[in-house]
């Protein structure tokens, strides 16, 4: 499973990328706004900080505008993935990007029918938003299961990128459901390392080791 960071905070990204466990990054207009920085500069810095795919989202709502913006975003670095919304115009742009060899991440996916259309349009990634479906009273993980089944039925190459992740449990259940990737907020990513029994067990090991008076070096 590919683990991406859902962030525009370059310092936090670099800190977590040092673990070797970060396979890529996703951004969106809200995260760019929160950064308070120029989008093109942030995307360039992120692309330099990780080797993996970096999703950068268009702001245009029409196909022509998406194509112009997406080509500009794609020119920033070879690892840019152009993120487009799951709309009619977005999927028309996705098909054109596929023919131009530009990787795409189709975002704001909330139904299996939408995901089917995105795969047919040649999307590189599909981003079903688990947390927002949960917030809406649905079970976001059901969507991952449905998309996995459909994509496997027809051999679609589009990779499922579980998004709107709210907890380590979302990551685990997305992996169990066969999602190819998950994009994770930094605080949730850091929580993946932790378990109270690990901390308690390590405290006990260190306490018992100290009693031996030994040193390994």
b/e string for 12-44 if b means 16 or more Cβ within 10 A?
A: bbeebbeeeebbbbbbbeebbeebeeebeebbb
Least separation in angstroms between residue 90's CB and ligand G3P is 14
For this structure, is 72 an active site residue?
Answer: no
CA distance 24 to 79: 9
> Which CB sits closer to ligand G3P, 173 or 183?
183
Q: Which two tokens stand for residue 111?
A: 């139904």
61 Cβ contact partners less than 8 Å away, ≥ 6 residues apart: 85, 87, 89
Q: What residues between 49 and 108 interact with ligand G3P by CB under 6 A?
A: none
If one asks whether residue 26 binds ligand G3P (CB under 6 A), the answer comes out as yes
If one asks whether residue 8 binds ligand G3P (CB under 6 A), the answer comes out as no
If one asks whether residue 109 binds ligand G3P (CB under 6 A), the answer comes out as no
Least separation in angstroms between residue 30's CB and ligand G3P is 6
Tell me the catalytic residues.
83
Residues of this chain that bind ligand G3P (CB under 6 A):
6, 26, 28, 127, 129, 131-132, 163-164, 183
């Amino acid at each position: 499973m590919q683990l991406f960071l859902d962030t525009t905070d370059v310092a936090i990204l670099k800190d977590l990328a040092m673990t070797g466990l970060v396979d890529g990054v996703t951004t969106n207009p809200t995260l760019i706004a929160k950064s308070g920085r120029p989008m093109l500069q942030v995307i360039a810095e992120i692309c330099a900080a990780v080797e993996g795919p970096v999703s950068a989202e268009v702001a245009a709502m029409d196909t022509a505008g998406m194509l112009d913006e997406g080509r500009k975003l794609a020119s920033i670095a070879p690892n840019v993935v152009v993120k487009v919304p799951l709309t009619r115009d977005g999927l028309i742009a996705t098909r054109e990007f596929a023919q131009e060899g530009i990787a795409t991440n189709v975002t704001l996916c909330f139904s299996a029918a939408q995901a089917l259309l995105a795969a047919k349009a040649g999307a590189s990634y599909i981003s079903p938003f688990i947390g927002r479906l949960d917030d809406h009273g649905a079970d976001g993980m059901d969507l991952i299961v449905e998309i996995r089944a459909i994509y496997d039925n027809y051999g679609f190459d589009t990779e499922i990128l579980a998004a709107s992740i709210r907890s380590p449990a979302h990551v685990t259940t997305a992996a169990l459901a066969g999602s190819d990737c998950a994009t994770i907020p930094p605080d949730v990513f850091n929580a993946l390392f932790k378990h109270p029994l690990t901390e308690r067990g390590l405290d006990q090991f260190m306490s018992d080791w100290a009693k031996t008076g030994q040193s390994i070096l």
